[in-house]
Amino acid sequence: MKYHHAKADTQAQNKIQNTLSYLYTGGLLTLFLVEEEKWSQVTSRGEQPPPRHAHSAVMHDNHMWVYGGMTDLQERNDFWRYDTGKY
């Protein structure tokens, strides 16, 4: 069961004028196209943050920032950035 995950919305729109919402769950970044009511998994490159729950996330300047949370009952204090500018 998945719980305590973070979602960050952006007022930015993609090329087809669709409002975007990002959800970070268990090590996966997912994009929700609001007007189409469609989910898709975002593919990312480079080092990936470990899966976690009870973390925080915020959107700022086409980036989703993820902070803290817990992995296997171990508290985390790391900070990760996803560049969402191309979506």
Who contacts 81 (Cβ-Cβ below 8 Å, separation ≥6)?
63, 64, 65, 66
Nearest to 55 by CA among 85, 30, 23, 86: 23
SS3 23: strand
| pTM of the predicted protein model | 0.73
Q: Position of tokens 């898709």?
A: 40
Nearest to 60 by CA among 14, 12, 24: 12
Sequential pLDDT tens for the chain (87 residues)? 444 556 666 655 444 456 778 888 767 888 888 888 888 888 888 888 888 888 888 888 888 888 999 988 899 999 999 888 765
